[in-house]
């Protein structure tokens, strides 16, 4: 999250480089999501960290912790930090109606937090703490 004073012409960072909406609430089980990431090159898989890997499907709860929501996605380590989007066109990463997708989570879990399942990309959602920080940062 970056907040900067507007430029002399009044434009914000988001005006210049673009931004995505963020959903601070927990995604619903069964909600369709698109997950993107860059699995690392030394994982012993065909993924080499140089291209985006896209997975899509309905969300399910994590088996080890209910804080996680995931979609089927058999990709390698290193994809952590990749975004999960709702209302997204997988070809462009954007909502066709608005031009932007809504971030619903950030890939965070590997086998250790997902009960040994590697065939899912699990994410945490931003939550109320992140929403308070966001609102406070934008209030100044």
Q: What is the pLDDT of residues 44-61, one digit of tens each?
A: 556 666 677 788 888 887
Domains of the chain: which residue ranges? 22-139
Q: How far apart are CA 103 and CA 32, in angstroms?
A: 12
Instruction: Report if pTM > 0.75.
Output: no
Spatial distance between the Cα atoms of 64 and 51, rounded to a whole number of angstroms: 30
Those residues whose C-beta lies under 8 Å from the C-beta of residue 7, and which sit 6 or more positions away, are 16
Per-residue pLDDT tens over the stretch 117-140 = 667 788 888 888 989 998 888 776
Other CB atoms closer than 10 Å to residue 39's CB: what's the count?
23
- Mapping DSSP onto H, E and C, the string for the chain reads CCCCCCCCCCCCHHHHHCCCEECCCCCCCCCEEEEEECCCCCCCCCCCCCCCEEEEEECEECCCCCCCEEEECCCCCCCCCCEEEECCECCCCECCCCCCCEEEEEEEECCCCCCCCCCEEEEECCHHHHHHHHHHHHHC
Is-contact 85 69, C-beta < 8 A? no
Q: Is the pLDDT of residue 11 over 90?
A: no
Average pLDDT over residues 76-90: 74
CATH level 3 topology of 22-139:
Thrombin, subunit H (2.40.10)
Average pLDDT in the 52-78 region?
75
What is the per-residue pLDDT for 131?
92
Q: Among 19-28, 43-52, 95-104, where is mean pLDDT lowest?
A: 43-52
């Amino acid at each position: 999250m970056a907040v900067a004073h507007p430029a002399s012409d009044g434009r914000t960072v988001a005006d210049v480089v673009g931004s995505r909406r963020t959903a601070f609430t927990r995604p619903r089980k069964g909600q369709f999501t698109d997950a993107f990431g860059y699995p690392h090159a030394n994982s012993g898989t065909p993924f080499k960290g140089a291209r985006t890997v896209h997975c899509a499907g309905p969300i399910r709860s994590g088996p080890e912790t209910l804080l996680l929501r995931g979609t089927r996605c058999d990709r390698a380590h290193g994809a952590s930090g990749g975004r999960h989007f709702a209302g997204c066109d997988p070809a462009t990463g954007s909502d066709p109606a608005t031009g932007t997708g809504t971030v619903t989570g950030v890939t965070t879990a590997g086998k250790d937090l997902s009960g040994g399942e590697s065939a899912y990309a699990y994410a945490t959602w931003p939550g109320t703490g992140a929403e308070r920080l966001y609102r406070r940062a934008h209030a100044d």
